[in-house]
């Protein structure tokens, strides 16, 4: 409550006290008169004595009221004097504040005028004005903090560091109005640059909220001195950023800068540190993912490191897709797959290749490796179509060695049993066992081993299929060159059937036909050609 209200209350209290004093005096006088009349009536005295008694009581009561009124009047006088002193003090403070605002306004205006380029001053110098605000509204406070990381967060030294901007805007009553945490992409510069960028971010945000009076709060001394004009920026980039900040600053009705201690800006510093830590973690994660990618030496594509296969023993590395295609082509040609690296003689293992091969290709690779371990002269295939198991001469079952054998000694030369289906077959004729008939007789009666062989031979002649002269397997050229490698290891020319010796053709036939080399459709996933 100000002095005027106090004085009014005091006046009211005096009036009430005075009224109370008068009421008390009247009541006391009436009581004295009644007492006097009662005494006179009891003694039989005349009523003339009554005036004398009342005249004696009234002065005493009037004296008490007068004293109380005098005390209240003295208090009222002192209150009036205190009020006048308070008003004079407030007026003096107002005049001092006004003078301070004028001085601050003149200093800021003079600094702004000094920053105006000569060309602009020559053209617009007479029109610059900034009136002094007589009753400015309470300013908002803009806390800003720019922070850049000097840690190596990228795989190459030339990559920029990580920088963040943190801003907190508070209202006149101390309430938080806005909070900003922003990443600066590809930041290049020093601390002054990032601090100016943070301040610029805060001033732009304040203008966007319609705020016209702000106080820029910072704990960075060099920024404070630059904003006051005590220091001048040395670098061109910093000078340009400073000019941008000053240009935005002029858009406010009131904009001041304040330097505070570290404890007063700890909240905005924490915002910057938290944002910086999050961005560093994100950058490291991204770089870690990039570092886990590797280029394949065959297709030259960048592939996830988890999809790169390291060949056993030699440790040459290729992507799964190229390794699968390499193994598939080798199996198609009837050879054992090895390392794709030129000049490397390392052979692939089944266990090591399971990671990039389908189960069907693994099965075929096992069969090819099995075939490769048996010399061509020792290979035996089961003649039953539902089996066709591969065996060596040492593995086939000799029925004559079984205790329950019912065969004669004459059968011992050619009679064998499959190790898989245990079907009996003739080792010489490569057909199911012809019981009760010798090999010569069987060939006389059945020139073709199977009833469907005639149709097969006719179809082979029509389509120019070739039969291996060594193991009698029928071979069809699906694609590729005319150099054939049978499952038994025999090499020959598909065109004329002549043998290849020492990896060289013994005929003059062409090595390939373009129609067999270039395919019309991409059929990489078709694994049926491997059979």
Report the CATH number that the domain containing residue 345 is assigned in CATH. 3.30.40.10
Rounded to an integer, the average pLDDT of 62-73 is 72
With CA atoms as reference, report the closest residue to 268 among 198, 334, 215, 208: 198
Rounded to an integer, the average pLDDT of 451-468 is 69
Which helix (H) or strand (E) element contains residue 509? none
Task: Domain of residue 441: give its range.
Answer: 375-398+411-449
Percent of the chain with pLDDT over 70: 71
Dihedral sign for Cα 317, 322, 324, 327, please. negative
pLDDT of residue 54: 43
> For the chain, how many structural domains are there in total?
4
* Angstrom distances, CA of residue 1 to CA of 6, 76, 84, 343: 7, 17, 15, 101
- Is residue 527, in this structure, part of any structural domain at all? no
Confidence band for 393, pLDDT divided at 50, 70 and 90: confident
pLDDT of residue 48: 45
Per-range mean pLDDT, top range of 31-40, 381-390, 444-453: 381-390
At 188, which CATH number? 3.30.420.10
Which helix (H) or strand (E) element contains residue 316? none
For residue 520, pLDDT over 60 is answered with no
Confidence band for 522, pLDDT divided at 50, 70 and 90: very low
CB atoms within 10 A of CB 365: 23
Looking at the structure, do residues 153 and 278 belong to the same domain, yes or no? yes
Q: By mean pLDDT, which of 112-116, 129-133, 336-340, 359-363 is the weakest? A: 129-133
pLDDT of residue 529: 45
Looking at the structure, do residues 273 and 232 belong to the same domain, yes or no? yes
- Is residue 385, in this structure, part of any structural domain at all? yes
- Is residue 13, in this structure, part of any structural domain at all? no
Core vs surface per residue 28-46: b (16+ CB within 10 A) or e: bbeebeeebeeebeeeeee
pTM over 0.85: no
To the nearest 10 degrees (0 to 180), the angle between helices 191-208 and 236-249 is 20
Looking at the structure, do residues 350 and 431 belong to the same domain, yes or no? no
User: Which tens digit of pLDDT belongs to each residue from 8-44?
Assistant: 655 665 566 556 555 555 666 666 676 666 666 655 5
pLDDT of residue 528: 45
User: Which tens digit of pLDDT belongs to each residue from 113-171?
Assistant: 777 777 777 766 666 666 655 545 678 999 999 998 764 444 444 444 678 999 999 99
Looking at the structure, do residues 238 and 344 belong to the same domain, yes or no? no
Looking at the structure, do residues 280 and 323 belong to the same domain, yes or no? no
For residue 203, pLDDT over 90 is answered with yes
> What is the full DSSP assignment across 354-409?
TTTS-HHHHHHHHHHHHHHHS-GGGEEE--STTT--EEETTTSB-GGGSTT----G
Looking at the structure, do residues 192 and 325 belong to the same domain, yes or no? no
Looking at the structure, do residues 475 and 383 belong to the same domain, yes or no? no
Q: What are phi and psi of 309, to 5 degrees?
A: -105, 130
- Is residue 339, in this structure, part of any structural domain at all? yes
- Is residue 76, in this structure, part of any structural domain at all? no
pLDDT of residue 223: 92
Looking at the structure, do residues 252 and 319 belong to the same domain, yes or no? no
Looking at the structure, do residues 206 and 250 belong to the same domain, yes or no? yes
Distance CA 9, CA 497 (A): 132
> What is the full DSSP assignment across 450-496?
STTHHHHHHHHHHHT-EE-TTT--EE---SS-SEEE-TTS-EEETTT
264 close to 219: Cβ distance less than 8 angstroms: yes
pLDDT of residue 52: 45
Confidence band for 58, pLDDT divided at 50, 70 and 90: very low
Looking at the structure, do residues 325 and 285 belong to the same domain, yes or no? no
- Is residue 156, in this structure, part of any structural domain at all? yes
Rounded to an integer, the average pLDDT of 440-449 is 73
Confidence band for 104, pLDDT divided at 50, 70 and 90: confident
Confidence band for 308, pLDDT divided at 50, 70 and 90: confident
Average pLDDT value for the chain? 76
Distance CA 290, CA 384 (A): 55
Which helix (H) or strand (E) element contains residue 117? none
Q: Which of 289, 324, 351 is the last residue of a domain?
A: 289
Rounded to an integer, the average pLDDT of 430-445 is 80
Rounded to an integer, the average pLDDT of 450-456 is 62
pLDDT of residue 264: 92
For residue 241, pLDDT over 50 is answered with yes
- Is residue 226, in this structure, part of any structural domain at all? yes
Q: By mean pLDDT, which of 161-170, 463-472, 522-531 is the weakest? A: 522-531
Looking at the structure, do residues 281 and 152 belong to the same domain, yes or no? yes
Residues linked to residue 347 through DSSP beta bridges, in sequence order: 338
Confidence band for 521, pLDDT divided at 50, 70 and 90: very low
Looking at the structure, do residues 193 and 270 belong to the same domain, yes or no? yes
- Is residue 284, in this structure, part of any structural domain at all? yes
């Amino acid at each position: 409550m100000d002095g005027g209200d106090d004085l009014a209350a005091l006046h009211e209290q005096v009036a009430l006290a005075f009224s109370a004093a008068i009421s008390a005096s009247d009541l006391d006088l009436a009581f004295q008169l009644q007492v006097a009349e009662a005494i006179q009536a009891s003694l039989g005295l005349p009523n003339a004595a009554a005036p004398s008694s009342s005249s004696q009581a009234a002065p005493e009561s009037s004296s008490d009221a007068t004293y109380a009124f005098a005390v209240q009047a003295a208090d009222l006088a002192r209150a009036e004097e205190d009020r006048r002193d308070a008003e004079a003090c407030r007026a003096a403070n107002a005049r001092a504040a006004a003078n301070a605002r004028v001085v601050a306004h003149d200093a800021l205006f003079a600094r702004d005028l000094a920053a105006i380029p000569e060309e602009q001053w020559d053209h617009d110098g007479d029109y610059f004005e900034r009136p002094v605000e007589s009753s400015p509204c309470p300013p908002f406070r803009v806390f800003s903090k720019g922070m850049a990381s000097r840690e190596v967060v990228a795989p190459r030294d030339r990559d920029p560091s990580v920088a963040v901007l943190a801003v907190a805007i508070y209202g006149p009553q101390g309430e938080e109005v806005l909070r900003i945490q922003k990443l600066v992409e590809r930041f290049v510069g020093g601390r002054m640059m990032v601090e100016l960028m943070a301040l610029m971010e805060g001033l732009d945000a304040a203008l966007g909220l319609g705020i016209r009076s702000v106080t820029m709060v910072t704990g960075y001394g060099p920024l404070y001195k630059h904003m006051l004009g005590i220091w001048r920026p040395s670098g061109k980039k910093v000078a340009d950023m400073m000019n941008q900040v000053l240009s935005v600053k002029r858009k406010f009705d009131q904009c001041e800068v304040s330097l505070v201690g570290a404890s007063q800006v700890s909240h905005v510093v924490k915002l910057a540190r938290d944002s910086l830590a999050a961005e560093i973690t994100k950058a490291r994660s991204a770089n870690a993912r990039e570092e886990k990618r590797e280029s394949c030496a065959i297709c030259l594509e960048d592939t996830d490191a988890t999809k790169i296969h390291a060949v056993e023993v030699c440790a040459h590395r290729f992507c799964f897709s190229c390794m699968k295609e390499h193994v598939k082509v080798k199996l198609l040609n009837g050879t054992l797959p090895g390392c794709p690296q030129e000049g490397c003689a390392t052979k692939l293992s089944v266990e090591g290749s399971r990671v990039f091969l389908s189960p069907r290709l693994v099965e075929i690779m096992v069969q090819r490796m099995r075939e490769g371990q048996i010399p061509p002269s020792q290979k035996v295939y089961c003649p039953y179509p539902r089996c066709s198991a591969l065996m060596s001469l040492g593995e086939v079952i000799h029925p004559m060695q079984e205790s329950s054998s019912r065969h004669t000694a004459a059968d011992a030369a050619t009679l064998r049993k499959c190790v898989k289906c245990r079907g009996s077959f003739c080792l010489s004729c490569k057909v199911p066992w012809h019981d009760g008939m010798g090999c010569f007789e069987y060939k006389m009666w059945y020139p073709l081993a199977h009833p469907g062989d005639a149709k097969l031979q006719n179809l082979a002649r029509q389509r120019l299929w070739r039969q291996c002269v060594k193991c009698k397997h029928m071979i069809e050229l699906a694609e590729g060159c005319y150099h054939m490698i049978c499952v038994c290891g025999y090499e020959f020319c598909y065109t004329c059937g002549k043998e290849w010796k020492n990896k060289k053709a013994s005929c003059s036939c062409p090595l390939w036909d373009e129609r067999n080399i270039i395919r019309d459709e991409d059929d990489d996933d078709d694994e049926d050609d491997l059979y």
